[in-house]
Structure formats: structure tokens, C-alpha cells
């Protein structure tokens, strides 16, 4: 179980960390996504910081298990909010969202099983 916990947690951290970097450097993709969802572009750095906090929190969970659990739960909530933003404007392009959510749910699941069972 330890190998699954470490593998999934590191993968989720890298995935969300890379998304955070894309948001924080001002890349056009997040701006286009925000425009499509009719959200202000000023939210890009905030969303990037939330992703970065989740990414670092997952890694911090190796030292403080509760931190990892809370970070994974926060990422799940973040991506539920992203789904609501997609649905609000009628967007049905959810492949990327589904991958990110599945990774966050997997990180939460292995965290709960490994640290709290």
C-alpha cells in the first residue's frame, strides 16, 4: 500500500503543480479557459495559487498526514468547483477536468486508506 500511496501522491502533486505553473506564468490556455467560463482573468493567479497549495500540501502530507488529507480534499473541492463553472456556461468539454478530478480523488483515497485505516 505504501508504494501506491507514494506513487499516486507524487503523480497528483506533479500534475497539479504543473497546472499551477501554467496559471501563474500567465500562459494563454488558462486565460482562454477563464474567458470561456466568463470568469475574470484576474482569478488566474488565485486559481494557480490554490493548485500550488494543493500540490505542496500533498507532498507535505508525507511529514504531516493530516496536511496531505486536507490538501487532497481541497483539490477535490477545487475540481468540483471547476465542474460547476463548466456546466454554468454549457461547456461539455470535460476530458481534462475528469482526469484532474480522478487524480485528486485517487490521492484522497490512498491518503485516507494509508494514513487513517
SS3 assignment, position 92: coil
pTM for the model stands at 0.95
C-alpha cell at 54: 494543493
Tens-place pLDDT, residues 4-30 = 999 999 999 999 999 999 999 999 999
Tens-place pLDDT, residues 78-102 = 999 999 999 999 998 899 999 999 9
How high does pLDDT run on average in the chain? 97
- Model confidence at 117, in pLDDT bands (50, 70, 90)? confident
Tens-place pLDDT, residues 61-74 = 999 999 999 999 99
Tens-place pLDDT, residues 45-62 = 999 999 999 999 999 999
Domains of the chain, by residue range, sit at 2-116
Residues 74, 53: Cα–Cα separation, whole Å = 9
Task: Tell me the Cα Rg of the chain.
Answer: 14
Q: Produce one character per residue of 25-49: b if its CB has 16 or more CB atoms within 10 Å, e if not.
A: eeeeebeebbeebeeeeeebeebbe
Amino acid at each position: 500500500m505504501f508504494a501506491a500511496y507514494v506513487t499516486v501522491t507524487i503523480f497528483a502533486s506533479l500534475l497539479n503543480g504543473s497546472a499551477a505553473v501554467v496559471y501563474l506564468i500567465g500562459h494563454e490556455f488558462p486565460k482562454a479557459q477563464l474567458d470561456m467560463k466568463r470568469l475574470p482573468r484576474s482569478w488566474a493567479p488565485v486559481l494557480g495559487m490554490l493548485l500550488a497549495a494543493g500540490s505542496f500540501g500533498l507532498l507535505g502530507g508525507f511529514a504531516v498526514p493530516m496536511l496531505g488529507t486536507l490538501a487532497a480534499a481541497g483539490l477535490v473541492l477545487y475540481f468540483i468547483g471547476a465542474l460547476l463553472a463548466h456546466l454554468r456556461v454549457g461547456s461539455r468539454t470535460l476530458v481534462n477536468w475528469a482526469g484532474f478530478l480522478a487524480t485528486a480523488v485517487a490521492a484522497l483515497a490512498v491518503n485516507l486508506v494509508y494514513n487513517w485505516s
